[in-house]
Structure 1
Amino acid sequence: MDIVITGRHTQIKQKFRDVVEGKMNRVTAIAPDSQRVQVVLTHEGNPRQADSAQRVEMTVWAGKTVIRAEASSADEFSAFDKALDRLTLRLRRIRDRRKDHRRGLEIDPVPEEVLVEQSKGPAEPENPDNSIHQDAMASDLGPGQSVEVQVGDTPIVIRRKLHIAEPMSIDDALYQMELIGHDFFLFVNVETGRPSVVYRRHGWSYGVFEIDTPAHGKQHGK
């Protein structure tokens, strides 16, 4: 498995690199089909955020699936351990769900901390931090790329990202939520052809938004 370690606003120390590489056997033990893992360490310079100054984002490419997890802490080693724990938990859930599908068992509701994304494969990122120049337009973004733009002189930063929405059922979209720790997932409903969003409400309750236009609705007599 290829291991790529990069830093944002910080330099990667050899000790951190050694710790990361030394613990990657936890990933391959659960997901032996893992082809590539990317670890991004980000330093937050705001002294008010000292307790979460180091953020670690981990992305694993396994076949056509992408699994992500992230965590923050006061130091990079603690942040990495937390992110790795979350990542391996999601990998186990995915592995167990695949086993249950093969056995024909009924699947329990989607657990906490869930959200997913499909990938065409472990393509190399355009640059280490998977972002592009902030002056770029949304039309210039490639799949998975993001851009951050500051609003005037305010501290507000808006992040824009291009997501390729795959046609799938609502059940499949909820399953995809198991791979990435967000609270929503964008997809195209294969039954209606509409752009849709599944999102977490509370407990085991979920919601679905479907997007349509007035013109499209009139064409279908709505």
Structure 2
Amino acid sequence: MEIVVVGRHTEVAERFRRHAEDKLAKVTQLAPYARRVDVEVTRENNPRLSELRERVELTVRDKGPVIRAEAAADDRFGALDLALDKLTERLRRARDRRKDHRRRSNDVIPAVDVRPYDEVAAERETEAAPATLAEPGDAVEHQLGDSPVLIREKLHRAEPMTVDDAVYQMEMVGHDFFLFIDKESARPAAVYRRRGWTYGVIQLDTQVDGAEPVTELT
């Protein structure tokens, strides 16, 4: 399993790289087919955020959905430990879900491949970022006029899936929302987190070209 450590607007010392590699070697215990773990370190220069100035984001790229976790602390070693705790919990949940799917393998409901696209080898965060989004995985940042607001855009490949699968993938990446194509209606949709364990779903009043609504057997 490859472990890639990069710094975003900061340098990453060799000592931290070795520490991250030692810590993340245990990922294979919960994700034996993981191909790579990306470690992105970001430093916040705002003195008001000194207690959260170091942020670490971990991304496991496996055969299934991408699993991500992030955390912030006053130093990157502490942030790594916090992020790894979150990642470990999500990997356990993903493993348990795979086991549950295998137990229900004889159901009459047809299997649906909901794996996301295979993202590019590493997320490119350089000054040479593409000016336009041409391929899935492309990302670009630009400033909003003369304001300090920074807009980050990223292109994803949409995969038809059920609401249940969309909620699952949202939980695995640790986001508060997830965009997808609803498999049953063929409409662009977004699932989002509400209070507690409740979720909401928003659909657009249009259908994706080439996608057909699917009614699964029960």
Measured against the shorter chain, the TM-score band is 0.7 to 0.9
Shift of 1:161: 1.4
Corresponding position: 1:193 with 2:186? yes
Secondary structure class of the residue paired with 2:94: helix
Distance 1:147 1:209 in 2: 26
Amino acid at match of 1:183: D
RMSD of aligned residue pairs (Cα, Å)? 2.3
Which residue number in structure 2 is paired with residue 81 of structure 1?
A: 81
- The answer for the alignment partner of 1:8 in structure 2 is 8
Structure 2 letter corresponding to 1:73? A
Post-superposition offset of 1:157: 1.5
Which amino acid in the other structure matches residue 193 of structure 2?
A: R
User: What residue in structure 2 maps to residue 207 of structure 1?
Assistant: 200
Of all paired residues, the percent bearing the same amino acid is 52
Give 2:194's aligned amino acid.
Answer: R
Q: Which residue of 1 aligns with 2:215?
A: none
Distance 1:143 1:57 in 2: 20
Number of paired residues?
Answer: 199
2:156 paired with 1:163: yes
Indicate how the Cα distance of structure 1 residues 120 and 160 shifts in structure 2: closer, same or farther if over 3 A, else same.
Answer: closer
Structure 2 residue aligned with 1:133 = 129
Alpha-carbon distance between aligned partners in 1 of 2:63 and 2:126, rounded to the nearest angstrom:
20
Structure with more relative contact order (C-alpha pairs < 8 Å, separation 6 or more) = 1
- 8 Å CA contact 1:131–1:146 kept in 2: the answer is no
CA distance in 2, matches of 1:130, 1:197: 29
Matched, 1:32 2:32: yes
Q: Which residue is 2:136 aligned to?
A: 143
Q: Which runs of 5+ in 1 are unaligned?
A: 106-116, 217-222
Residue aligned with 1:16, SS: helix
Distance in 1 (CA, whole Å) between partners of 2:168 and 2:32 is 21
SS at match of 1:21: helix
Contact 1:183–1:200 (Cα < 8 Å) also in 2 = yes
**Against the structure 1 CA distance between its residues 36 and 104, is the aligned structure 2 distance closer, same or farther, given a 3 Å change threshold?**
same
TM-score (norm: length of structure 2): 0.83
